[in-house]
Structure 1
Amino acid sequence: MMPVHMGVHPQPSPAPYEVQIDAPSFVNRQMINVQIVGPGYRGLLLEARTFGSTAALGSWQNPANNTKFLQCSGNPKGAITHSNTELKTSLSTYTWLPPNSGCLPVITFIATVAQSREIYWLGVKSKVMWRDSKATCAAGKFTWTITIVTLVPFHLLLLPSFLY
């Protein structure tokens, strides 16, 4: 997600931008609205990913003004990027649709945001979105389970796991 801006480097300071999402969880076929909040910006690269992966997940719908789809990870609508350097604002909303296959437990949105050709930030992330318990995973339903191990006379709660 590094721009090909010869002779310039990403800003080392914290980004003045935040990736905001309109829901705490996602389900199949439910669109999620994403906004880049902060000062006006001219460049953007926005993807949805799961932890430990660089693959662009899901698909973006109807690009906002001054943006277009970008094929990433073999996904023709896997990312949104700028189509020109016109100023974009927090009023720009990008709509994302979760993938139909695979049962990913979490998604995060990650962006590269450029105020100008010379000033940009990498790795601007949203909060984590969890798959809603009502979501289906292929033919099954996503459910959380908790494993409890009994050690006389103590109970230890182990990390949650999930079944498909």
Structure 2
Amino acid sequence: MAQWIFSLLFGTTVLWTMLIPHSSFPTGAPASACENMLPGHTGIQPQQTLAPFEFLVSSPSFLNGQPINIQIVGPAYRGLLLEARSFRSTTALGFWKSPPNNTKYLQCSGNPHGAVTHSNTNLKTRQTTYTWLPPNSGCPPVVTFMATVALSHEIYWTNIRSKVIWKNPKATCGAEMPTRKLPAAALLSLLLILFEYI
């Protein structure tokens, strides 16, 4: 009798698992996805085909204090992880303004507003607008927007990139190295040393 009850419970659990659609993170990407942009869907790899999405970015350059609007153009999607990054960096730059409906902030790179992710599996469309603000200091020369976009738990693309946007020459958030003036005595010593080797 006990074995029959166990078999019935096990069979019901397996059937229930197969019939109910499941998602690893239906309420947003985990913080562990911030660097590699992988959503952590166990056993499911990203699509290898060209992503059917592209970015619509409101400006070709950025200026600290000026918002940039981003839309993801393509089929309606359910899952998202969106960040701004500099070239060859995994650090989330700047911060996102109030996330639109069905999305929320994700803390990345120690920044509570460093990324945006989905808050549920409701459909998001190209009308969904994300607003980004550049950092107030440490701006790199160029920024690109990166996303992982999921149509479903099983179908997603990662590392989708926007075109590069440039730092506006009027921006005051640059990452320029401070210049140091060499004292006259040190400069004279350096010149004397150089003349000895000529």
Bin the TM-score by the shorter chain: 0.7 to 0.9
Q: Deviations over 1:98-144 (max 9, x none)?
A: 0001131000000000000000001111110000111113698xxxx
Matches within 5 A, 1:62-101: 62-101=98-137
- 2:40 is aligned with what amino acid? V
Return the match for 1:45 from 54, 59, 81: 81
Question: How many matched pairs?
Answer: 140
Aligned-residue RMSD, C-alpha? 1.4
**Runs of at least 4 residues off by over 2 Å:** 137-140
Mapped to 2, the partners of 1:132 and 1:92 lie a distance apart of 26
Q: Which residue of 1 aligns with 2:156?
A: 120
TM-score under structure 1 normalisation?
0.83
Q: Does 1:24 align with 2:60?
A: yes
- 2:57 is aligned with what amino acid? I
Distance apart, 1:63 and its partner CA: 0.3
Higher helix share: 2
Mapped to 1, the partners of 2:175 and 2:44 lie a distance apart of 48
Q: Which residue of 1 aligns with 2:190?
A: none
CA contact (8 A) 1:19 1:111 kept: no
TM-score under structure 2 normalisation?
0.69
Q: Which residue of 2 aligns with 1:55?
A: 91
Quickly say closer, same or farther: Cα 1:139–1:99, change in 2 above 3 A: closer
Quickly say closer, same or farther: Cα 1:36–1:139, change in 2 above 3 A: closer
Identity among equivalent pairs (%): 66
Gaps of 5+ in 1: 141-164
Distance apart, 1:20 and its partner CA: 1.7
| Higher CA-based Rg | 2
Higher strand share: 1
- 2:56 is aligned with what amino acid? Q
Mapped to 1, the partners of 2:41 and 2:88 lie a distance apart of 26
- 1:4 is aligned with what amino acid? G
Mapped to 2, the partners of 1:96 and 1:60 lie a distance apart of 4
Quickly say closer, same or farther: Cα 1:73–1:129, change in 2 above 3 A: same
